[in-house]
Amino acid sequence: MMAPFSKFFSWLFLPLFTPIYGLLIVLFIPSRPSSFLLMDSLFHYPYQVKMLYIMLFGVFIVLAPGMSLLVLKMNKSISSLSLENREERATPIAIMTFYCFVLYLFLIFQENGAMVPNIIKSMALGGVLASAIAYILNRSFKVSLHGVGMGALAGFVLMYFMGMELYSLPILLAIFILGGVVLSTRMYLESHNLKEVAIGYGLGFMSQLFCIYFYDLIF
């Protein structure tokens, strides 16, 4: 019974999907900013703008890397889409880093940064940082990419909610609990050990905290 459950959660919370989940939470869960500017809350952005963000992240973070993985599988550069073999992970992680960077460049080069708040841009930059570090760490051990994804989700939503006067605490708690569940399933499936999931989670979490905090200070 546990094996199908673990596999389901592993696919449901693939690292490619977690940025979309984060966007859906901050865009559609009611929040009120601590500042006097209503538009500091992404919940109050126009629906068309929200869908544009989701589309952009969907193309650059889900569709493009996903298609690249399929091409690698067809060319037999990787033996499995789940990337169980550490030696086969270098190219897919490099591809993910590339697409995160392209997304970040696309966001910052919009005319006058039109309707692109810093937290969205820094979220993409956090993905670049986490992926690049994961690429380096992968040379030594099989860092958990699910851990990176769930950590990034928690870090992004936490940093966003910290700027809000009104936010959903149950949602935030659920994200942390889900992180524990997903990482437990990865260990149950023997895809990773505790060290690999813990470092992956910490990497994703701290990358978002670092980029979001300092992005506002610098820009």
Q: Give bridge partners of residue 164 from the DSSP assignment.
A: 33
Distance CA 151, CA 215 (A): 19
* Token couple for 154: 């928690």
Residue 30 within a domain: no
Instruction: Tell me if 57 sits within 8 A of 51, measured CB to CB.
Output: no
**pLDDT tens digits along 64-113:** 999 999 999 899 888 887 888 888 899 999 999 999 999 999 999 876 55
User: Domain limits at 201?
Assistant: 2-23+44-218
pLDDT band at 9 (very low <50, low <70, confident <90, very high): confident
Residue 193 within a domain: yes
In the chain, how many domains are there?
1
Residue 37 within a domain: no
Q: Return mean pLDDT, the chain.
A: 92
Residue 38 within a domain: no
Residue 31 within a domain: no
Residue 42 has what pLDDT? 95
Residue 147 has what pLDDT? 96
Q: Which of 51-60, 69-78, 149-158 has the lowest mean pLDDT?
A: 69-78
**Ordered DSSP codes for 164-207:** EEE--HHHHHHHHHHHHHHHHHHHHTTS--HHHHHHHHHHHHHH
Give the rounded percent of residues in the chain with a pLDDT score beyond 70.
98
Residue 5 has what pLDDT? 84
